[in-house]
Structure 1
Amino acid sequence: MITPSLLTATIALSALARAGMEQMVVAPGSRSAPVAYAAAAAEASGALRVHVRIDERSAAFTALGISRSTGRPTAILTTSGTAVGNLLPAVMEASHSGIPLVALTADRPPELRGTGANQTTYQPGVFESFVRAQVDLVPDDQKSAVETLDRALAAAGGDDTTAPGPVHLNLALRDPLYPWAEEDHVFLKNWAEELAAELKENRPARLAHPWAVFDESLVTENLETDTSGLPRDIGRNFRIHDVHGGSIPSPLGENPGKRPTTPDGARAVVMAGDGAGPAAARFAEEAGLPLMAEPSSNARFGKSAVHSYQNVLELNIVDFVDTVVLVGRPTLSRQVAAILQREDVRVLAVRPGPVPWFEEGRRDEEVVHTFQEALELLGPVRDNWFELWEATGIAACDALRTQANSTPILTGPHVAHAVWDACAADGAVLVAGSSNPIRDLDLVAWPDDPVAVVANRGVSGIDGTVATAHGVALGTGRPVRVFLGDLTLLHDAGSLLVGEGEEIPDVQFVVLNDKGGGIFGKLEHGAVAEDERYTGTVERFFGTPHNVSLPDLCAAYGVEYSEANTAIELAALFAAPLRGRRVIEIPIDRAGLREFHKGIRGAAQDAAREYLAKNPIKA
């Protein structure tokens, strides 16, 4: 007789592999041991790739990065007890981003729950608010177990009414928890080889969703277009000529031609938020509309992308906007959020299916399923509307560059610009940390060259960024450049630990080190700190100063370290091949951060305002 816990483990892993899982992450533990032994056998046969991490939170975000960058379900295996609770941040991010993460948790069998059994809590339902399906499996019947798991995993891909997202598979495992008889050894080997042969013949399709995952166009080489007309693939060597050369299928059909304009046409803009995808850029260009694209939209390129759009949105030109074509999820700009809330602005939200981050009725908007529907509702565009936005954005951008370059030291925007250019040049995937880095990118990443960008914008936390970057590199097989702050690195420093024998991805961490939380100085708290009654409070509770030595931290984890204090030094580091793992520290001073940003934004807005004064908009 096969040990029951091993049989349960193989049932679960077979279901996951048939649902499209190619990689999984294992955190060590005793109760989860049967699944670990099965995973090892599956890896030996070539059926799965397995990664091991000692910290469950790090493991979960590694799995999240793999799923986000591939569109495939990825499981994180944990033992019972508090190990399960460590998955919650990644499960929350997966839920709000629509990522098919699988929490595969081992548990005590029901007869031991509530008895004081060691390392036991109540695990069923622990992620209830965030998962698309949850299963508490005690498989006494193999057929029913397979059917139960298949139904749960199908929910990860979403359907006509539910967005994709994470699922929770809780496996109640009874002793013994290891292969102890010869029959067990033979069973595991045969099972793994049969699974590998099955997958070789029929590797399941992705569970990709256009709003949920890093666009596959930047990962794989085959061209696919889904039924909504939104492209899934545009090739590994993604460059702007691919767009204009036709490698991205037109979202408006073949030969859409030049859009008509009229003196009283629509004054519309395209807002491309997180996950919008390259089709949003193609649509904006073909529709003749100005495009405001966040970095993680993966639509920030092409002729229609407006430079320095946040500064332009501060001016009276925004008062003339009557329609917004919304693609993806806007997460960065208060100016964009303000437009979407205006009662006099019509919002056409292009969504081919349900999304995980929006509840119907919470904002007044018209949902359309294709870009063609949006265009039909939009009608002709006003004469010279795009040209006005384009020129205003260029004026703002040029002034911002000039003002920023007047400072003799490196700043966040300088580094953001250099990081974007480096990724455009060498094809590295850019993982953007939350807080200041992604906002610096949004401010100065010029949309002339496309860059593949991944960011955890589901709930926009700084946690798990290091692990997510590892996962993106493992998922895509491409080098990754991470732009992040010092607190983001320190918050997830434990994810730098990769055990002996584990696959080491190519990841470069570009760290803006201002010895604390610089973003708060740019927010309202920076103004409060100018009042001497609150200076110390703001510094302690928001600035959170520290004196961690990054060279020592890197040495402890076996990560290469470099420091850059000038643009020339940074360029030289970016010119070298991106191999292995390296931290590049850029020391900056946050004391003048608030005034610096006021200066560059003021210069940009003054220049844009001057241009608009010379080229007034007619009502």
Structure 2
Amino acid sequence: MSDDRAVEVARRLVAALLAQEVTEAVLSPGSRSGPLALALYAADEQGLIRLHVRVDEREAGYLALGLAKASGRLTPVITTSGTAVANLHPALLEALHAGVPLLAVTADRPARLRGTGANQTTIQPGMFPGITFTDRITGLAGAVREGGPVHLNVELDEPLVESVSWQFPQNSWSMSAPVSGRTQVLESGPRTVLVAGDGADPALAAVAQQAGWPILAEPSSGLRSAPTSIACGRIVLGGRLIERIERIVSAGHPTLSRPVTNLLTRTNLPTVHVGDASTFPGVPGANVTFADRISVRGSGDESWVRSWIQAGDRIENALLHAEQFVVAKAVWEAATPGLLVLGSSNPIRDVDLVAPVRVPGPRVLANRGLAGIDGTVSTAIGAALTSYGRAIALMGDLTFLHGANGLLMGPIEPRPDLTIVVLNDDGGGIFHTLEQGSPEYSSAFERVFGTPTRTKIDALCAAHGIKHRLVQASQLEGYLSRTPVGIEVLEVQVTRAGRRALQSVVSGLAAV
């Protein structure tokens, strides 16, 4: 490819993206990627592809991830060579483990320069193990067919920039892959629970309703509103009903709570996972089988699902007035029926406990592929850019600070109307609820787990020209009742004190 004129490579790339129905692209500027930048700018000017420019490659990757996750469309992120490429790795890993159609297009020096001291030259092919790789634009259609992330590395030789007229074909065709695999038919009995993790198939709501299966639905599963979804599922598992389970069906990528993970890794219960081993949260034993899709034969025991619903509702009622969950409840209600993006750690777990079930709610997205805190701000911005209606993101202070460069964007770049609610407990509150929060580790806790930063979030927002408001938890509902113009940050300061005690109280509700 290095024998081709760089501008012709750029022209073919844009034509290939249009053929794959690409409508959004993210660019991090650089010299080697110059012809790609000019071609994408021209496509943006012609109304073919909306271009988003970011100077931070890591945040550019997560912005593209959010665009792809929310739209379901292939979304490219384009970088120059060298360390710029390596900064895409976190977003690509998340895309790999969540099955998101993210395309990394990396500009490269000609292959003849590899192994020399040429500026910004390294071995870019194969830089991302496990990610589908191609160095041919003609191979792009085949590479993206599986739906996960792809790395396209293009060698560009000088001259990089020439004065040319950019014209692109405007025809496209569907990139939807045909549905493959077989449907496994299950009997409605024995007594079964359906565990729905991140990105589960929405069609399972009807299957569970027919079979009489209670659904333990994570917030980002898409099944929270299903007729048999139960409240506080991870707490209900701490009661006696777990002893009556005779079979497990799981779907999506369930990773949110240890009680659910422990249930799925039991080897004494037959388990059917809708998906493959890459989304099963553990080492599958001989009791685990995999299916592409499932259907059910017969109707289930109504008393079975009713007992789970009653247990969950009882615990939910006990939590309704807990002050610690005011923020989670307010955010969920304000986001309904729009978009809600949840950060990892405590925020998504708080929502998991108090978000209503069996009623319509918002569309919920979260980076649960690897459940990292990085890139959440950019993911939320990307998702909001493709959504209509109200868009809210909820995250902790460390998650916000870790991704604060997501707010670093030019004044003319497209911006969504997005409210980012930051639950600021000045550190890693989730560690209080884990083994590290035990009293015997108290002397080391604050420095190596709590990690307070004392960062002034208002000053950080001001530096980026982002509207900021410090609000009390009790005031949040009122502020969320209005839709912002552009991006705004609502900071709610809370304390980490009592998090561990609250965990014990909540867990004890299952036995009441």
Q: How does 1:134-153 map to 2 (within 5 A)?
A: 134-136=133-135, 148-153=136-141
- How far did 1:423 drift? 1.2
Q: How does 1:75-224 map to 2 (within 5 A)?
A: 75-127=76-128, 129-132=129-132, 134-136=133-135, 148-158=136-146, 164-180=147-163, 185-186=164-165, 188=166, 191-192=167-168, 195-196=169-170, 198=171, 202-206=172-176
Q: Is residue 130–residue 166 contact of structure 1 (8 Å, CA) maintained in 2?
A: no
Letter in 1 for 2:130: F
CA offset digits 1:279-298 (Å, max 9, x no partner) = 22222222221111000101
Q: Is residue 72–residue 206 contact of structure 1 (8 Å, CA) maintained in 2?
A: no
Match of 2:506 among 600, 607, 614: 600
Decide whether aligned partners of structure 1 residues 461 and 58 sit closer, same or farther in structure 2, where only a CA change above 3 A counts: same
Give 3-state SS (helix, strand or coil) of 1:157's partner: helix
Largest Rg, 1 or 2? 1
Q: Is residue 19–residue 154 contact of structure 1 (8 Å, CA) maintained in 2?
A: no
Decide whether aligned partners of structure 1 residues 229 and 398 sit closer, same or farther in structure 2, where only a CA change above 3 A counts: farther
Aligned residue in 1 for 2:48: 47
Aligned residue in 2 for 1:275: 199
Aligned residue in 2 for 1:335: 259
Q: Is residue 182–residue 291 contact of structure 2 (8 Å, CA) maintained in 1?
A: no
- How far did 1:344 drift? 2.3
- C-alpha distance in 1 between matches for 2:449 and 2:327: 23
Match of 1:445 among 330, 343, 355: 355
Match of 1:399 among 312, 315, 318: 318
- How far did 1:380 drift? 5.2
Letter in 1 for 2:492: I
- How far did 1:367 drift? 2.2
- How far did 1:418 drift? 1.2
- C-alpha distance in 1 between matches for 2:160 and 2:150: 24
- How far did 1:118 drift? 0.8
Given the two structures, how large is their TM-score scaled by the length of structure 2? 0.94
CA offset digits 1:427-451 (Å, max 9, x no partner) = 3210010011111111111213322
- C-alpha distance in 1 between matches for 2:162 and 2:71: 33
Q: How does 1:249-260 map to 2 (within 5 A)?
A: none
Match of 1:480 among 370, 373, 391: 391
Match of 1:368 among 291, 315, 318: 291
Q: Is residue 107–residue 171 contact of structure 1 (8 Å, CA) maintained in 2?
A: yes
- How far did 1:383 drift? 5.4
Give 3-state SS (helix, strand or coil) of 1:68's partner: helix
Q: Is residue 481–residue 509 contact of structure 1 (8 Å, CA) maintained in 2?
A: yes
Aligned residue in 2 for 1:357: 279
What is the number of residues matched between the two proteins?
508
Q: Is residue 485–residue 511 contact of structure 1 (8 Å, CA) maintained in 2?
A: yes
- How far did 1:130 drift? 2.7
Match of 1:311 among 210, 213, 235: 235
Letter in 2 for 1:71: G
Decide whether aligned partners of structure 1 residues 124 and 444 sit closer, same or farther in structure 2, where only a CA change above 3 A counts: same
Q: Is residue 238–residue 511 contact of structure 2 (8 Å, CA) maintained in 1?
A: no
- C-alpha distance in 1 between matches for 2:228 and 2:39: 51
Aligned residue in 2 for 1:417: 329
Q: Is residue 466–residue 496 contact of structure 1 (8 Å, CA) maintained in 2?
A: yes
Q: Is residue 298–residue 450 contact of structure 1 (8 Å, CA) maintained in 2?
A: no
Q: Is residue 105–residue 170 contact of structure 1 (8 Å, CA) maintained in 2?
A: yes
Q: Is residue 235–residue 506 contact of structure 2 (8 Å, CA) maintained in 1?
A: no
- Is 2:249 aligned against 1:293? no
Aligned residue in 2 for 1:140: none
Give 3-state SS (helix, strand or coil) of 2:386's partner: helix
| Stretch of structure 1 that moved more, 547-556 or 30-39 | 547-556
Give 3-state SS (helix, strand or coil) of 1:499's partner: coil
- How far did 1:204 drift? 3.1
Give 3-state SS (helix, strand or coil) of 1:330's partner: coil
Gaps of 5+ in 2: none
Decide whether aligned partners of structure 1 residues 9 and 453 sit closer, same or farther in structure 2, where only a CA change above 3 A counts: same
Q: Is residue 104–residue 171 contact of structure 1 (8 Å, CA) maintained in 2?
A: yes
- C-alpha distance in 2 between matches for 1:516 and 1:362: 35
- C-alpha distance in 1 between matches for 2:488 and 2:338: 14
Decide whether aligned partners of structure 1 residues 42 and 155 sit closer, same or farther in structure 2, where only a CA change above 3 A counts: same
Aligned residue in 2 for 1:581: 487
Q: Is residue 322–residue 344 contact of structure 1 (8 Å, CA) maintained in 2?
A: no
Letter in 2 for 1:61: Y
- How far did 1:274 drift? 0.6
- C-alpha distance in 2 between matches for 1:117 and 1:370: 51
Decide whether aligned partners of structure 1 residues 269 and 77 sit closer, same or farther in structure 2, where only a CA change above 3 A counts: same
Q: Is residue 486–residue 512 contact of structure 1 (8 Å, CA) maintained in 2?
A: yes
Aligned residue in 2 for 1:255: none
- C-alpha distance in 1 between matches for 2:431 and 2:226: 33
Greater share of residues in strand: 2
- C-alpha distance in 2 between matches for 1:359 and 1:558: 41
CA offset digits 1:486-541 (Å, max 9, x no partner) = 000000101111202111111111111001110000111111xx23xx32311100
Give 3-state SS (helix, strand or coil) of 2:317's partner: helix
Aligned residue in 1 for 2:442: 535
Gaps of 5+ in 1: 137-147, 159-163, 210-225, 231-250, 253-258, 405-409, 608-619
Decide whether aligned partners of structure 1 residues 419 and 596 sit closer, same or farther in structure 2, where only a CA change above 3 A counts: same
Letter in 1 for 2:284: R
Letter in 2 for 1:367: F
Give 3-state SS (helix, strand or coil) of 2:41's partner: helix
Structure 1 runs of 4+ with >4 Å offset: 226-230, 358-361
- C-alpha distance in 1 between matches for 2:254 and 2:279: 10
Letter in 2 for 1:538: F
Letter in 1 for 2:15: S
Letter in 2 for 1:536: S
